[in-house]
A and B are shown apart, each in its own frame.
Chain A
Amino acid sequence: MRGVVRGLSSWEAVVVIALVVVVAVGALAIEGVASPRFWRFVSLEVIPIALIALPMTLVIITGEIDLSVASVLGLTCATMGQLWVWGVTSLPLLIAAALLLGALLGAVNGLFVTGFGLPSLAVTIGTLALYRGLAYVILGDRAVADYPPEWASAAIAPIPGLTIPWMIIVVAVLAAGFGVVLHATPIGRGLYAMGNNAEAARFTGISVRRTTFWLFVATGAMSALAGVFWTLRYASARADNGNGLELAVIAAVLLGGVSIFGGRGRLAGVLAAVLLLGTLRNALQLADVPANTLTIITGSLLIVSVVGPNVVVKLRARKDRSWQRGVPWRFSPR
């Protein structure tokens, strides 16, 4: 209960309230936002972003970053396309190959960061270009678009009785998994320690390098999963699939209250922010707001997200103490 109270007086609460406001205002002011079709569309839009945002949250909490996620997505799409062209027609096999490739690409990132001690920002800017380049090497300007149409309809099939695609359930299960690991396991405690003070984490026996490595592997695999969804949904593999998606992901993570300096943030806030950004973008598109304006709005939100949590944390620190001090925890000398 105490956790809930505290959770609500935080930046995450601000994001959730913003989400509610956007939905309410959108439903009233913009024709179509209240319709089930709109929500189906928003869901399909946010699924890949959410999939990547889950591991990205953990990565940023440990004080690292992975900018190559969209390129991993693109490269898995391209590879799946090429495999299909070569005659691999088994969907499970294609998915397995994609996930393996994603994990491998993530491992390369992880190796450069932990093995050579390079900053993840620099490494993943490099692999952002490298992986995308490889995708172009594989597919060039071609598009592989002759997948069986059943695949697409299966991937985006709604939950019976609803319009929301069933993939949302997969995302929800994965989110619950990541949430538990981050907030309710010894591993999660270690991640926060690493992000705040890597040296103290080492003195506590936390293997900072090993943990970082596996986080990058997980990020690669999850980006590949997003790539699988992308391929199936659009029934099309192109080298530029998901171009620029990393910014949408990182914007959502930061807006969700995760500190870019590491050590702070919660998964619930990130999920709310993914939804908030997705809803906002689609609602504004529906209202015929030009693309440039959309970009400006997203950019401004990003700045708000970096400044905002700090302000809220400061305010909360004040409020928090006052109720904490109500029940003093002074240890009485024996």
Chain B
Amino acid sequence: MVVLELRDVSKAFDAVQALRAVRLGLRAGEAHGLVGENGAGKSTLVKILAGAHPADEGALLMDGRALRLAGPADARAAGIAVIYQEPTLFPDLSVAENIFMSRQPLRGLRRIDARAMRARTTELFDRLGVPMDPDRPARGLSIADQQLVEIAKALAFDARVLVMDEPTAALSGPEVERLFAVVRALCEAGSAVLFVSHRFEEIFALCERVSVMRDGRLVSTDPAAEVTVAELVRRMVGREVAEMYPKAEASKGPPLLQVRGLSRRGAFTGVSLTVHAGEIVALAGLVGAGRSEVARAVFGVDRHDEGEVLVDGRRLRNGDTAAAIAAGLALVPEDRRQQGLVMELSVARNATLARRWSLARLGLLTGGAERRAARTWGERLRVRSAGPDEAVSALSGGNQQKVVLAKWLSTEPRVLIVDEPTRGIDVGTKAEVHRLLSELAGRGVAVLMISSELPEVLGMADRVLVMHEGRLVADIPRALAGEETVMLAATGHGGAG
């Protein structure tokens, strides 16, 4: 039985036709996967279901009756819960307040029942296995934790239709498993689910049917059992994708990045690691293990309390990002909207911001130089945008991620730290990003890669370091690294390696 149906829905942003006559039906008790290249229109479709964008043409039908959504409140009233691609929490409100925003449980005299709100948040977090304090403010949450809060927000009311736009992009295996358990329970209770993802193994694990979008069109819908990944990829990008993990052997040079006994109170303790020239070292672990925190301290965005960071044998000043960059360090941060990009500025400005000094001639920087530099990297990473002068805020999530990558790769770093580098990036470009990383290592760059995607970790790394609750617990060479060993260590069951 079709619960929610889109009939020939079209949507344009000025001259960009984001959706072209899309037809899609979501069935009760069924999870429906949606895949497509970056900028194909998936998030636009999600936002139309959420009532956040009006459709230009076409109709929405719920239980066969026309559904008019003037805003997100209408969608919620109709029983549609949405997890957006980019978390949008109120930083100064608590986690519980965020989850129950505008539908707080009330007690007498319409006062907010804070205790009930907290209790229900705790219960939700238990179901999702999230160890988070409901009273803490949303400010400062990692991107994965923000995503978990968004998930809890959508699950807080029993939705008839649950729409999820890349909810797992920053999550690791166990979190994804628990989310899927909750979603499956929802499906069994008769809800319809739409699941957008670039991770095919998740699509096949959760969904009964899969649709492919391309250039704003919905090009196919099939039962998941009847299609293969290769087929989906071909429909998405219209060509064969090169090998996903083109890891080339690189000769190991001298140690470039050395971290010794690094500690930061409340985040991580006694982290020591070395990355050699030509090496790709992965930093694996569960959400909240402290991986991003280590990266930020190494890069000097956060100060550390103990220990030291050496690049090429030279000690970096604590908390001095400019010095770190001057020493040849680059960090692609996990949160592209807050940390990676200045959303109001253009693609060209963002892509060249980190190398603005080297682009300047006689101290002067022209828009032309920025546009040219941005174009080179934009083409390489297949950034899809209206032009170098377009604001990055108008780009799709994956394309924004590509701009962050361009921003840092173009600085030609000697030590590259990437935090979830392919979050939200489609298969085609992902393979390209992996090729780039491998190539950089081949040229003697030391790469430290934080990733929650186990296949990426296993496919790309020469060595896998595993963190658990703020400590490094394992150092596994490529030959011995397997799904099981890494996961055991990440959950705190592995022996120190």
Chain A contacts to B: CB under 8 angstroms: 3, 180, 184-186, 188-190, 192-193, 196-197, 199-207, 263-264, 318, 320-322, 324-331, 333
Query: When chains A and B are docked, how far (Å) is the Cα of A207 from the Cα of B319?
Result: 11
- Asked if B473 is an interface residue, CB under 8 A from chain A, the answer is no
Q: Is the CB of B384 within 8 A of A200?
A: no
Q: Is the CB of B338 within 8 A of A331?
A: no
Query: When chains A and B are docked, how far (Å) is the Cα of A184 from the Cα of B382?
Result: 28
Q: Is the CB of A331 within 8 A of B384?
A: yes
- The distance from the CB of B396 to the nearest CB of chain A, in whole angstroms, is 13
Residues of B within 8 A of A192 (CB): 342, 345, 349
Q: Is the CB of B365 within 8 A of A189?
A: yes
Q: Is the CB of A184 within 8 A of B366?
A: yes
- The distance from the CB of B346 to the nearest CB of chain A, in whole angstroms, is 10
Q: With A193-B345, A199-B339, A333-B382 in contact, is A204–B353 under 8 Å at CB?
A: yes
Q: With A196-B345, A203-B333, A205-B324 in contact, is A185–B360 under 8 Å at CB?
A: yes
Q: Is the CB of B354 within 8 A of A205?
A: yes
Segment touching A, from B127-135, B142-150, B175-183, B385-393 = B385-393
Closest A residue by C-beta to B336: A200
Q: List 17 A-B contacts (CB under 8 A).
A: A180-B364, A186-B360, A186-B365, A189-B356, A190-B356, A192-B349, A200-B341, A203-B331, A203-B339, A264-B344, A321-B14, A321-B390, A322-B15, A325-B16, A329-B385, A331-B378, A331-B384
Q: Is the CB of A203 within 8 A of B301?
A: yes
- Asked if B363 is an interface residue, CB under 8 A from chain A, the answer is yes
Q: Is the CB of B365 within 8 A of A197?
A: no
Q: Is the CB of B14 within 8 A of A205?
A: no
Interface centre among B13, B301, B342, B428 (most CB of A within 10 A): B342
Query: When chains A and B are docked, how far (Å) is the Cα of A189 from the Cα of B387?
Result: 19
Residues of A within 8 A of B354 (CB): 204-205
B239 contacts which of A322, A324, A333 (Cβ < 8 Å)? A333
- Asked if B357 is an interface residue, CB under 8 A from chain A, the answer is yes
Query: When chains A and B are docked, how far (Å) is the Cα of A186 from the Cα of B378?
Result: 21
Chain B residue total in the interface (Cβ 8 A)? 47
Residues of A within 8 A of B366 (CB): 184
Query: When chains A and B are docked, how far (Å) is the Cα of A318 from the Cα of B16?
Result: 12
Q: Is the CB of A322 within 8 A of B14?
A: yes
- Asked if B121 is an interface residue, CB under 8 A from chain A, the answer is no
Closest B residue by C-beta to A321: B14
Q: With A186-B360, A197-B338, A197-B342 in contact, is A331–B349 under 8 Å at CB?
A: no
Q: With A203-B331, A205-B322 in contact, is A328–B338 under 8 Å at CB?
A: no
- The distance from the CB of B356 to the nearest CB of chain A, in whole angstroms, is 4
Query: When chains A and B are docked, how far (Å) is the Cα of A326 from the Cα of B389?
Result: 13
Residues of B within 8 A of A190 (CB): 356
- Asked if B78 is an interface residue, CB under 8 A from chain A, the answer is no
- Asked if B321 is an interface residue, CB under 8 A from chain A, the answer is yes
Residues of B within 8 A of A196 (CB): 342-345
Query: When chains A and B are docked, how far (Å) is the Cα of A189 from the Cα of B342?
Result: 11
Q: Which of B210-253 contact A (CB under 8 A)?
A: 237, 239
Q: Is the CB of A263 within 8 A of B364?
A: no
- The distance from the CB of B247 to the nearest CB of chain A, in whole angstroms, is 21
Q: Is the CB of B14 within 8 A of A318?
A: yes
Q: Is the CB of B345 within 8 A of A331?
A: no
- Asked if B484 is an interface residue, CB under 8 A from chain A, the answer is no
Q: With A189-B365, A331-B383 in contact, is A200–B388 under 8 Å at CB?
A: no
- The distance from the CB of B106 to the nearest CB of chain A, in whole angstroms, is 34
Q: Which 5 A-B pairs have the closest CB atoms?
A: A325-B15, A329-B387, A186-B356, A321-B14, A205-B325
Residues of B within 8 A of A197 (CB): 338, 341-344
- Asked if B340 is an interface residue, CB under 8 A from chain A, the answer is yes
- Asked if B63 is an interface residue, CB under 8 A from chain A, the answer is no
Q: Is the CB of A329 within 8 A of B344?
A: no
- One digit per residue, 1 when the CB lies within 8 angstroms of any chain A CB and 0 when it does not, for chain B 396-424 equals 00000000000100000000000000000
Residues of A within 8 A of B357 (CB): 186
- The distance from the CB of A330 to the nearest CB of chain B, in whole angstroms, is 6
Residues of A within 8 A of B14 (CB): 318, 321-322, 325
- Asked if B455 is an interface residue, CB under 8 A from chain A, the answer is no
Residues of B within 8 A of A264 (CB): 344
Q: With A184-B365, A200-B338, A201-B342 in contact, is A328–B325 under 8 Å at CB?
A: no
Q: Which of B315-343 contact A (CB under 8 A)?
A: 321-322, 324-325, 331, 333, 338-343
Q: Is the CB of B382 within 8 A of A331?
A: yes
Residues of A within 8 A of B364 (CB): 180, 184-185
Residues of B within 8 A of A202 (CB): 301, 321
Q: With A3-B367, A189-B349, A193-B353 in contact, is A207–B344 under 8 Å at CB?
A: no
Q: Is the CB of B387 within 8 A of A324?
A: yes
Query: When chains A and B are docked, how far (Å) is the Cα of A333 from the Cα of B345?
Result: 25
Closest A residue by C-beta to B358: A186
Q: Is the CB of B344 within 8 A of A263?
A: yes
Closest B residue by C-beta to A200: B342
Query: When chains A and B are docked, how far (Å) is the Cα of A3 from the Cα of B368?
Result: 10
Q: With A186-B365, A203-B339, A333-B428 in contact, is A328–B386 under 8 Å at CB?
A: yes
Closest B residue by C-beta to A180: B364
Query: When chains A and B are docked, how far (Å) is the Cα of A318 from the Cα of B15?
Result: 10
- Asked if B379 is an interface residue, CB under 8 A from chain A, the answer is yes
